[in-house]
Chain A
Amino acid sequence: MSDRDTAVFKNEDSGEITTASEDLAIGILDSSKGFPNTDLNLLTKKIEKSKKSKKRRLIAVAFVLVAAFGYLMYQGLTNSIQYFKTVDQAVADRSSLGTSTFRVEGMVVDGSIRRDGVQTLFSISANGVTLPIVDSGSPPSLFQQGIPVVLVGHFDSGSGPGGTSLTFETNQIMVKHSNVYIAEHPNRVKAQNGTSR
């Protein structure tokens, strides 16, 4: 037996050795091929057996953990998917979107911003379709007319397609960072001056 094998063997067994007596442990290490003493053979077999069941238990625990983790991830994903639509797409998909939460992108219509108590009312538009918005959160300081925004929220319930009315409720307005160097994204809305943001 090479040096290396001994080392591995020692390490493998060290967990069990602590429970057996010192002499026994040395005995096991010295000869892995069996002992003249049958009692010792019985003991090694017992150890082997407990090791196997330990391994089986480990696999079972690992399986349960992986399954639980996978389930959590699946749940998390399906609960957190937010569709991202431009205004025209959102209005077209009203029946399938219903009152579920999604993100909608559009440009704040000039002169449409009004304050009503704690709410901010305005409209956004994309590709010729306009959607009235009710914001119950606090708009970020960058918020102003004529800029592209992304809103997180949902259609109001009503009697239209998908049980909705044509009003979008949001409490989260994100102003898209404008960058000179940003290239056009197919879904991106153009600003008035023709630059894409």
Chain B
Amino acid sequence: MYRLSKLRFGFPIGLLLMLFLDGSISQIFSTHLFRPSAIMVSHLVVLWLIAAVLFEDQYDIPIARWAAAAGAIFDLYYTGIFGVYVFIFPLAVYLTRLMVAYISPNFLSGLLIYFIDITMVEALGYLASRMVHLTSMAGSTFLVTTLGPTLALNLALFVVLYFPIRWVYNWLK
């Protein structure tokens, strides 16, 4: 099924597009997103990956592999520190697969799953950066200035983009 559908090319192209949009959004809205009191990091890549798990049905997209590829590009091109998101993105996909097995995915449960995923991605990213001394931000500061605003932004993006992305996936099938 997967091999014959448009998803075979559509999914990776969308993934790359989201990856680059993350950077472009950060650049264009940098004055609004990166305030010292509230730092919002957009994670459209994670949104695209999670949406793939939610909407894939019986198409069996190799999402985890593509997630690792997206993570590798993210690490090399954006941060320059290899070995962080290349593991975190597939882990987010795995976690979502686990949750989807228990909760049937719809808009509200999807929001909940996305909440947990973003928390995990941000928290693990923070721990990794703390460990290699890329940041010296305290844990409590991280919770208040980064995790909270980031969750707010990404959940808002989820609400706005859920139906458009579902439409795109249905079109690709």
Do they bind each other?
no
Residues of A whose CB lies within 8 Å of any CB of B are none
Chain B residues packing against A (C-beta within 8 Å)? none
